[in-house]
Amino acid sequence: MENHGLVLVRFNDMPDCHIINLSGDNAHAEEDAARIVESFDGLMGNPLQSLFMIFDAMVPNITTLMDNIYFRSGDAVHYMGVNAGSETFQPVPCLFNSDIFVGNAVLAMLMQNHPGAVLEHGYQEPDSSISATSTTGNRINTIDWRPAFDVYRELARECYGLEVTPENFYESAVHFPLGIMRMDGEILVRIPVALESDGSIFCVGEVPEHAVLTLLKAFSPDSRKTLEILMQHADQKRKPGMLLFYCAGRRMHMGAAALEELTYLQQMHSGQTNFGALSLGEIGGSRQAGYPLFHNAALVNIPRD
């Protein structure tokens, strides 16, 4: 795992590819989604397509955009993607093509004859839950009608014996993220990355108002269950030569064990070429219906022949 460098990926046939500027405003999310879908001719025509999207991590309404894209495209494509940007979570230009270098946008590619990605994070559902009673995009204002940080701090102390302060908030939250509980049983992980003076919490990824939340405890760094689940589903799609995106927050939690996890993954499929990059949020289809979901702390495996 290198801190500096460049990964070059060759396509036998270059996918149709566009950069679309985004408003970042839910009032215009339907319009933004329409521009993404309409930038591709024939998006609805072939279910053996995958829509691969690289978002600027600072776009605050990626989940709402995904919902609106799905309403337009349905199951006509597989959905997959990641976030780009800086781990300082400050706005920076992070998307480019031969003409422009921009932020607050998405780089979208329509990949033909592709089965879609496999995504896994390895978190399990705890017993207790709370409610995000007031949110604005990726900002949680209140939980159970109280300042979000006050509730987070109390739960961390009661459930895990952890003392969280404003000073150690980010390094603690990487190990104890929030989870959004979905009716289908899937957990969407949200890593808190910033704390405001009013007690509100910023996450990587939207948190819907009145979402049912839980405080997750991260898996042990020596656990291999995430990789076993990932590879089980990957083999059902195609024997992988893997383009792998690995969440930067997951790397922070794993520490030196992140390299061990990647080494173990290589050993599970020796002879295959595995390569990739760190990401700041991950997109994959739900297990039940293929609906696009935005995650943190996950691995995204994009199969390659």
Look up tokens 């690995």; give the residue. Answer: 246
Exposure string of 141-168, with b = 16+ CB inside 10 Å and e = fewer, is bbbeeebbbebbbebbeebeebebeeee
Given this model, what pLDDT does residue 76 score? 86
- List the structure tokens of 90: 């400050």
- Please indicate, yes or no, whether residues 242 and 210 belong to a single structural domain of this protein: no
Average pLDDT per run of 10 along the chain, which is 305 residues long? Answer: 80 90 94 94 70 94 94 90 92 94 96 86 81 94 96 93 93 91 86 94 92 86 76 58 87 90 80 84 83 91 77
- Please indicate, yes or no, whether residues 250 and 189 belong to a single structural domain of this protein: no
Q: What is the pTM of this model?
A: 0.89
Given a contact cutoff of 8 angstroms between Cβ atoms, the answer to whether 216 and 123 are in contact is: yes
Three-state secondary-structure class, residue 236: helix
Amino acid at 188: L
- Please indicate, yes or no, whether residues 88 and 32 belong to a single structural domain of this protein: yes
Q: How far is 125 from 239, CA to CA, in rounded Å?
A: 30
Of the candidates 184, 215, 246, which is a domain's last residue? 215
Three-state secondary-structure class, residue 300: strand
Residues 6+ apart with CB under 8 A from 117: 50, 52, 78, 80, 284, 285, 300, 301, 302, 303
Given this model, what pLDDT does residue 42 score? 62
Q: Confirm whether 11 is domain-assigned.
A: no
Q: Confirm whether 105 is domain-assigned.
A: yes
- Give helix then strand counts, H and E, for the chain: 7, 21
In angstroms, the Cα distances linking 175 to 139, 160, 211, 244 are 19, 11, 21, 22
Q: Confirm whether 185 is domain-assigned.
A: yes
Three-state secondary-structure class, residue 44: coil
What is the domain extent for residue 181? 130-215
Of the candidates 167, 190, 215, which is a domain's last residue? 215
Given a contact cutoff of 8 angstroms between Cβ atoms, the answer to whether 170 and 253 are in contact is: no
DSSP, residue by residue, 149-183: HHHHHHHHHHHH-----TTTHHHHHTTS-EEEEPT
Neighbours of 289 (CB within 10 A): 9
- Please indicate, yes or no, whether residues 208 and 282 belong to a single structural domain of this protein: no
